[in-house]
């Protein structure tokens, strides 16, 4: 990379460390949530939404989240052993609770799109999932097929090995091909950088390249890697992409405190599978899938 990029990495790292030191200073009448607690401070979360948050979704221990926030939840099922009935139930729950989207593997996109026809619930799908090792041409073709089947959002995994090898041009082209496939059909491209495999410098470079390649979101994790989202990673990604791109935290988010921390750090969506439990204040269902 150029000296300019090296300077970007250094500047972003400084800003992130400063932000981490200052995190959590805000007070909250319902607890130390930093003004981002949907259950105890719904007006604050509505403010976050009003200021640009796209969606909020969550997998955790259940909380009394107001129903007007349901439209920001992505209801997710990417478990490899999920059967047709599981997907039908996912769609029915999304319709019942007014979730924004369902996120499913490509083979289920057409079924879900048909089941959700006539509703406002969108269908999201994954590309190059979960390893990111397909070629740019294959990823673009996979994205176009999912979109043709009814997907309106694509979560693609970058070529992690190319990034770690320093082949930044390949990473950029990889993202750009999928962005082009999405945008020509009016769909969104969310770029999963799989932070658990990367150094901070590589996370910054990946996020920067996603912006250059005209992605709409950067996303922390597949949920199937060695680790999931952290507040540090969300801050790093937000500082890198600025306010124009969305940031989605995903993987290992299981408690209300996790959700509050991620939103406060700059996440505009949180990948999840237990939206029903949030809205009904039930307990987390085991093994509902990961995003």
Tell me the catalytic residues.
155, 219, 248
**C-alpha distance across the termini of the chain, in Å:** 31
DSSP designation for 165: T
For residue 285, CA distances in Å to 65, 100, 224, 254 come to: 17, 20, 18, 11
For residue 189, CA distances in Å to 56, 96, 108, 167 come to: 17, 26, 19, 21
Three state DSSP letters for 45-73: HHHHHHCCCCCCCCCCCCCCCCHHHHHHC
Please list the residues that pair with 190 across neighbouring strands: 155, 217
Q: Is 80 helix (H, G, I), strand (E, B) or coil?
A: coil
User: By the 8 A CB rule, do 59 and 257 touch?
Assistant: no
């Amino acid at each position: 990379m150029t000296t300019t990029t090296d300077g970007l990495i250094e500047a972003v790292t400084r800003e992130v460390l400063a932000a981490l030191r200052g995190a959590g200073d805000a007070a909250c009448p319902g607890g130390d949530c930093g003004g981002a607690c949907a259950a105890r401070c719904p007006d604050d979360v509505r403010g976050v939404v009003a200021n640009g948050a796209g969606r909020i979704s969550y997998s955790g221990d259940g909380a009394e989240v107001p129903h007007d926030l349901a439209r920001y939840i992505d209801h997710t099922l990417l478990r490899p052993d999920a059967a047709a009935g599981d997907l039908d139930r996912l769609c029915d729950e999304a319709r019942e609770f007014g979730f924004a989207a369902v996120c499913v593997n490509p083979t289920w996109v057409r079924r879900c799109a048909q089941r959700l026809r006539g509703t406002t619930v969108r269908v999201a799908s994954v590309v190059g999932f979960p390893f990111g090792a397909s070629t740019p041409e294959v990823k673009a073709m996979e994205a176009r097929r999912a979109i043709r089947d009814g997907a309106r959002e694509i979560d693609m995994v970058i070529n992690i090995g190319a990034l770690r090898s320093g082949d930044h041009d390949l990473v950029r082209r990889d993202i750009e091909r999928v962005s082009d496939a999405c945008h020509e059909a009016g769909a969104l491209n969310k770029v999963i950088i799989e932070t658990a495999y990367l150094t901070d410098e590589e996370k910054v470079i990946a996020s920067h390249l996603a912006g250059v390649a005209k992605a709409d979101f950067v996303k922390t994790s597949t949920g199937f890697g060695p680790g999931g989202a952290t507040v540090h990673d969300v801050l790093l990604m937000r500082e890198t992409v600025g306010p124009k791109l969305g940031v989605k935290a995903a993987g290992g988010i299981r408690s209300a405190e996790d959700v509050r921390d991620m939103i406060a750090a700059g996440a505009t969506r949180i990948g999840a599978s237990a939206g029903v439990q949030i809205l009904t204040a039930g307990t987390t269902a085991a093994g509902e899938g990961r995003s």
